[in-house]
Amino acid sequence: MCGAQGECLQRSAALLPADVPAVWITTAPGIAGALPANKAHTLLGQETGALVFDAHSGFDVNAFAAVSGTLRGGGTLYLLTPPLDAWAQYPDPDYRRFLPYPYQAGDVEGLFLQRLVGMLEEKSPLAPLLQRGGFLQQDAVITIIQSEVPVVLTADRGRGKSAALGMAASQLIGQGKRVMLTAPSRATVESVFKHAANPPAFFAPDDLLQTLPKADVLMVDEAAAIPVPLLLQMLQHYPRCVFSTTLHGYEGSGRGFVLRFQKQLDTLAPGWQSIRLHQPIRWPENDPLEHFINQALLLDVDLAPCPPCGGRAGDGGERAEYRQLNRDNLAQNEPLLRQLFGLLVTAHYQTRPSDLRQMLDAPNISIHILEQQGIIVAVALLSREGGIDADLTAAIHAGTRRPHGHPIPQTLTFHAKIPQAAQLVCERVMRIAVHPDRQNHGLGAQLLKHLLGFATQGGADYMGVSYAMTPELVRFWERAGFVVARVGHRKDTASGSRSVVQIKALTARATALFNR
């Protein structure tokens, strides 16, 4: 439904059936029970027959993907937008999420919205409202209850994965079994508890491995968000485990988990069982709304197959071709965009729809790839940061100002107590990923050399990176000449690792400042 915000709200209110309670996602005043997009997660595990999502209040794509999963079969989603031909120029409040100081909404080209508008116009008459054309996989519950070996439960969103865990846990506890549940955060398993008449005990991953409480069955939900070494430690202490994860969803992807973790299980527990839930529980298969959201937000992307290997880069084998991608062209090249994003979601479990929007629209981001035979085998995203004036840098150093964005320049200035660090220009490696079939072939190092050349030519003073510290990653960055600038004080509860910042000076003034 397109037009001015007030007009769209009035029209949608008039169209809503009187006997169907509706969920409203908007910050507009005067609507009883309406939720802002940042509270949409409180609806997870619930069902509704009508959903009104007001994009004028900010098109939070993560919230949009999440709440669409609460709409049951036969329900209607009303998407309220500015006029479609002007939406890409609309100063979306959600841009605040990724715009670093001093950029404003007017600095955004709106490539993500241009692409989305094109899809909506293709789907007409779906554009004004989107309708969805369930049942629980009882076999999954039975398998979890009866299995004496590790179980891996995978599903796309909306397939009842959490419900199956909750009901299986409840029945096991009813049989006198001690059942524990762990996940990256308790908030991610609220739906499990809603379906468990006998709720399992919850432990954060780090607490679980430190205390090792006794249990007959350990359930690990959203396992893709927990590093594989920690999962293997859990398996060592709790042989009867259920590892559950979402394959394609608004909260991230489990594709990398499938590739990495199941290979380990083949060695450590050859008899492990796999369960894949296909049937949605709130809507029929081949649902048009699910199909549209999956396409628009790239929730359904998979990894492109790799061409035949030509040897290690630099060892006389086939080398990959480097290029920086033009984002205007990328937004109009759907096959290339899907291939690129498929590699990113496979490499990192927390890649979300908001990352797609930021990648296309944040004015400080650049995209770099290596290709072999037309296939992307490595990708990196750079974020240009720093270059902050002397007065604001002094305020950051004193702890009185914290402008949005610029994480590495600010942590060097405030935490590492390097007074002028935020005045220097930094190219931060936001993401770097190599195709799983091309890892350990030198492509990551090859791409990093191109990134350093790009940063130097662009006048950056240094390059920086921040990540959850592991010995392998530290060695990779040290081999490229990066030095540790800061190590976090606390371990992350999900990863069990400390964060680390590493930097490499590219100019004389950066070298002098960091040495001092």
Phi-psi region of 440 (alpha: psi -120 to 50; beta: other; left: phi over 0): left
User: Is residue 134's pLDDT more than 90?
Assistant: no
pLDDT given for residue 226 in this prediction: 84
User: Is residue 74's pLDDT more than 60?
Assistant: yes
pLDDT given for residue 229 in this prediction: 85
Give the C-alpha separation, 516 to 514, whole Å: 5
Question: pLDDT band at 316, cuts 50/70/90?
Answer: very low
pLDDT given for residue 236 in this prediction: 93
User: Is residue 124's pLDDT more than 60?
Assistant: no
**Sign of the dihedral defined by the CA atoms of residues 92, 93, 95, 99, in that order:** positive
pLDDT given for residue 283 in this prediction: 80
**Sign of the dihedral defined by the CA atoms of residues 161, 170, 181, 183, in that order:** positive
Ranges of beta strands (E only) in 94-186 are 129-131, 151-155, 179-182
pLDDT given for residue 392 in this prediction: 97
Element housing 372 (H / E): strand 365-372
**Sign of the dihedral defined by the CA atoms of residues 309, 313, 319, 324, in that order:** positive
Give the C-alpha separation, 92 to 134, whole Å: 35
pTM: 0.84
**Across residues 219-247, what is the average pLDDT?**
89
pLDDT given for residue 351 in this prediction: 83
**Across residues 353-381, what is the average pLDDT?**
96
**Across residues 354-358, what is the average pLDDT?**
96
Question: pLDDT band at 130, cuts 50/70/90?
Answer: low
User: Is residue 248's pLDDT more than 80?
Assistant: no
Longest dimension (CA), the chain: 71
pLDDT given for residue 364 in this prediction: 97
Are the beta carbons of 164 and 140 closer than 8 angstroms? yes
* Termini Cα distance of the chain: 59
Q: Determine which of 46-60, 118-132, 239-253, 338-352 has the lowest per-residue pLDDT on average.
A: 118-132
pLDDT given for residue 73 in this prediction: 82
Q: In the 8-state DSSP scheme, what is residue 47?
A: -
pLDDT given for residue 221 in this prediction: 92
Q: Which two tokens stand for residue 36?
A: 């802002």
Q: pLDDT by residue (tens digit) across 81-96?
A: 999 999 999 999 999 9
Q: Is 428 exposed, middle or buried (0-12, 13-18, 19+ CB in 10 A)?
A: buried
Q: Which domains does the chain have, with CATH numbers?
A: 5-131 (3.40.50.11040), 138-277 (3.40.50.300), 321-515 (3.40.630.30)
b/e map of 449-485 (b: 16 or more CB within 10 Å)?
Answer: ebbbebbeeeebbbbbbbbbbeeeeeebbeebebeeb
User: Is residue 125's pLDDT more than 70?
Assistant: no
pLDDT given for residue 421 in this prediction: 94
Question: pLDDT band at 135, cuts 50/70/90?
Answer: very low
pLDDT given for residue 128 in this prediction: 47
Q: pLDDT by residue (tens digit) across 22-42?
A: 999 999 998 988 999 999 888
User: Is residue 137's pLDDT more than 80?
Assistant: no
Q: Whole-number mean pLDDT of the chain?
A: 89
Question: pLDDT band at 156, cuts 50/70/90?
Answer: confident
User: Is residue 458's pLDDT more than 70?
Assistant: yes
Tell me, what amino acid is at 331?
A
Instruction: State what percent of residues in the chain have pLDDT above 70.
Output: 92
Q: Is 400 exposed, middle or buried (0-12, 13-18, 19+ CB in 10 A)?
A: exposed
Give the C-alpha separation, 95 to 59, whole Å: 9
**Across residues 462-483, what is the average pLDDT?**
93
User: Is residue 252's pLDDT more than 70?
Assistant: no
Q: pLDDT by residue (tens digit) across 402-432?
A: 999 999 999 999 999 998 999 999 999 999 9
Are the beta carbons of 139 and 146 closer than 8 angstroms? no
Q: Which two tokens stand for residue 111?
A: 């490539």
User: Is residue 298's pLDDT more than 90?
Assistant: yes
pLDDT given for residue 367 in this prediction: 98
pLDDT given for residue 188 in this prediction: 78
pLDDT given for residue 383 in this prediction: 98
Q: Which two tokens stand for residue 340?
A: 């690129």
Q: Is 91 exposed, middle or buried (0-12, 13-18, 19+ CB in 10 A)?
A: exposed
Question: pLDDT band at 349, cuts 50/70/90?
Answer: low
Instruction: State what percent of residues in the chain have pLDDT above 90.
Output: 64
User: Is residue 250's pLDDT more than 60?
Assistant: no
Question: pLDDT band at 317, cuts 50/70/90?
Answer: very low
**Of 34-38, 260-264, 313-317, which has the strongest mean pLDDT?**
34-38
Strand partners, 132: none
Preceding amide of 125 cis, omega within 30: yes
Question: pLDDT band at 227, cuts 50/70/90?
Answer: confident
Q: pLDDT by residue (tens digit) across 1-29?
A: 899 999 999 999 998 988 888 999 999 99
Angstrom distances, CA of residue 358 to CA of 99, 365, 379, 509? 9, 8, 16, 31
pLDDT given for residue 493 in this prediction: 60
